[in-house]
């Protein structure tokens, strides 16, 4: 009762998250609950991305990072994995021109070696085409896992130490950041996961040290720009302390 009577915060109050990262989860359950194949959910999910991307500038979001495929998702049936990669190709081909026109800078994070050469070429092509854009920094995580990212960074740092171009005691947090896939990107202010799961599944472990988290029950294919805006407003009501005292 008390909660119902509490005054509601006016919309748009408080700071806005500049960088939002989203774990787009729940495509499979969305499809299964409708008696559809899981891939139908992934297709719907891919279609949802445009509306969320397009809503960012008005919400004051300059960086959007999307988790599309994890290093653990290879464990799924081959048909689902193949279908997902078909969707990624289609997304890049179909949305690429629009993203260029809208001034988005697109980056991909995650290990690329395991991806088919033609997909790697599509990804590299879109990155090159959008290099000078800065209206929205859109980062898509494909074959991304936080442990894998830190492992790859550590190996490269170790190589530099072995080659004598870096001293072990010169390794700083900045050195590590510079070797992560997200080098040059700010840390996420808000990490949002759809579909009612309360876990991070390997997403951005280094970068999320002081991120705020939001979990919503809606499955990704049902997640609307209005729901997104509500979460962004909710962020403004939080108090971030970064280990210091309030004030």
Shortest Cβ 100–ligand IPE spacing (Å): 24
Instruction: Enumerate residues 18-77 that contact Mg ion by CB under 5 A.
Output: 25
Q: How far is CA 224 from the centre of its chain?
A: 16
Gap between the Cα atoms of 156 and 10, Å rounded: 48
**Residue 28 touches ligand IPE, criterion: CB under 6 A:** yes
Shortest Cβ 133–ligand IPE spacing (Å): 24
Nearer to ligand IPE by C-beta: 177 or 197?
197
Q: Does the active-site annotation cover 73?
A: yes
Of positions 166, 201, 206, 236, contacts ligand IPE by CB under 6 A = 201
Contact yes or no for 223/216 (Cβ under 8 A):
yes
Choosing from 25, 181, 187, 189, the catalytic residue is 25
- Which option in ligand IPE, Mg ion, none does residue 69 bind, with CB closer than 5 to 8 A by kind? ligand IPE
The partner residues of 212 in beta bridges, in order of sequence, read 190
Q: What is the DSSP letter of 221?
A: G
Instruction: Enumerate residues 67-86 that contact ligand IPE by CB under 6 A.
Output: 67-70, 73, 84
Shortest Cβ 105–Mg ion spacing (Å): 28
Stretch that binds ligand IPE, among 20-28, 162-170, 179-187, 233-241 (CB under 6 A): 20-28
Alpha helix segments (H runs only) across the chain: 2-5, 27-32, 38-59, 78-101, 117-129, 146-163, 173-179, 225-235
Q: How far is CA 160 from the centre of its chain?
A: 29
- Which option in Mg ion, ligand IPE, none does residue 70 bind, with CB closer than 5 to 8 A by kind? ligand IPE
Tokens found for residue 122: 């599509």
Q: Does the active-site annotation cover 25?
A: yes
Contact yes or no for 116/142 (Cβ under 8 A):
no
Nearer to Mg ion by C-beta: 25 or 187?
25
**Residue 211 touches ligand IPE, criterion: CB under 6 A:** no
Query: Does residue 100 sit in helix, strand or coil?
Result: helix
Gap between the Cα atoms of 205 and 28, Å rounded: 25
Which residue is closest to ligand IPE by CB? 28
Residues designated as active site: 25, 73
């Amino acid at each position: 009762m008390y909660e119902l009577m509490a005054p509601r915060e006016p919309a748009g109050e408080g700071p806005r998250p500049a960088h939002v990262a989203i774990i787009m989860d729940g495509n499979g359950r969305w499809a299964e609950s409708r008696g559809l194949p899981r891939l139908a959910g992934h297709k719907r999910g891919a279609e949802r991305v445009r509306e969320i991307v397009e809503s960012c500038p008005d919400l004051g979001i300059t960086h959007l990072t999307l988790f599309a495929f994890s290093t653990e998702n290879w464990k799924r049936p081959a048909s689902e994995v193949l279908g997902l990669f078909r969707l990624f190709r289609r997304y890049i081909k179909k949305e690429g021109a629009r993203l260029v026109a809208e001034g988005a800078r697109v980056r991909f994070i995650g290990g690329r070696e395991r991806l088919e050469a033609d997909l790697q070429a599509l990804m590299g092509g879109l990155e090159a085409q959008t290099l000078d854009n800065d209206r929205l920094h859109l980062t898509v995580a494909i074959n991304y896992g936080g442990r894998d990212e830190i492992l790859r960074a550590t190996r490269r740092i170790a190589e530099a130490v072995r080659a004598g171009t870096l001293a072990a005691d010169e390794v700083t947090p900045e050195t590590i950041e510079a070797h992560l896939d997200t080098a040059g990107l700010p840390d996420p202010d808000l990490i949002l996961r759809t579909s009612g799961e309360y876990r991070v599944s390997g997403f951005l472990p280094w970068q999320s040290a002081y991120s705020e988290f939001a979990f919503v029950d809606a499955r990704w294919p049902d997640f609307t720009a209005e729901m997104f805006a509500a979460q962004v407003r909710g962020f403004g009501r939080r108090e971030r302390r970064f280990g210091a005292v309030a004030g």
